[in-house]
Chains A and B, each alone.
Chain A
């Protein structure tokens, strides 16, 4: 393809330097092949997590550039793709973190609980088990747009914890370390994130409002 026109001189210099510098590593990096070899996977990875095509493109772009600039840190221990996806993951998390709606959760922890539970810890509104059929939703783009609207509405810390845990499947220990919080903090934050996400999605997507609790069913 057209990848080799402009990039060639720089690239061949790169290879020469590589041969001289670290001839032991298997395969020098060749950025001109990145887009063809990994662009598709990177783009889909980003698209699944941010939904908007233009944002996905921008993040892939940023990741490729960051990778190029940090090429000396590529150890050759991981596959090139794993390395690129790792950089992309950071860009996605940064992006999600930065989408702050200005609502910080410092003071509001007890507030949000009050919206869900009364003073005796009973549901203010009973969750209605509307039919959630995962397989039917997987391919619905509109659902994922709503998902991201709900994700954006979370307070920043909850959004970050949720993104790390659910979107990136990070181990809870690693999340605590990255966010500088205790495990107990994390459970509280994730509890909030999951509870609010569930409510937001059932309301916005399934059009199911939780029922007013009659007070007789919940113990």
Chain B
């Protein structure tokens, strides 16, 4: 019934990707109750997951103003230039 740290860490990671079963949750809770290391692992893993959610999910939504740099003008111009050149290339080779 008692699981070791390796199994506990596995369950902590999986809990971020799938719902754990009742039995798994019980085993994990029991283990966490007496293991400071896994408690730390859980805390950090969940914090990191939240951070990544914010960065890659919430920010991906267009209506949220991002903290990232916008498109610099010179990049904008280069993108247009190259796209135009490639389109002309394609047109002349057809």
Contact = CB atoms under 8 A, between A and B. Distances in A.
A41 B62 contact: yes
Interface of B: 2, 4-7, 9-10, 13-14, 16-18, 31, 34-41, 43-45, 47-52, 54-57, 59-60, 62, 66-72, 75-80, 82-84, 86-88, 90-91
A134 B54 contact: yes
A190 B44 CA distance: 16
Interface of A: 1-3, 6-7, 10-11, 13, 31-32, 34-36, 39-41, 43-45, 47-49, 53, 57, 60-61, 64-65, 68-69, 113, 116-117, 120-123, 126-130, 132-135, 137-139, 144, 165-169, 172, 187, 190-191, 194-195, 197-198, 201-202, 213, 217-219
A190 B43 contact: no
Residue of A10, A127, A197 contacting most chain B CB atoms (<10 Å): A127
Given A41-B62, A201-B48, A217-B35, A123 B5 contact: yes
Chain A contact residues, majority secondary structure: helix
Contact of A219 (B10, B35, B55): B35
10 contacts: A2-B80, A36-B76, A116-B6, A121-B4, A122-B6, A126-B40, A134-B51, A134-B54, A198-B44, A218-B5
Contact of B86 (A41, A68, A132, A197): A68
Contacts of A127: 37-38, 40-41, 44
Contacts of B66: 44, 48
Nearest to A8: B84
A66 to B, nearest CB: 10
Contact of B55 (A31, A36, A39, A48): A48
A132 B68 contact: no
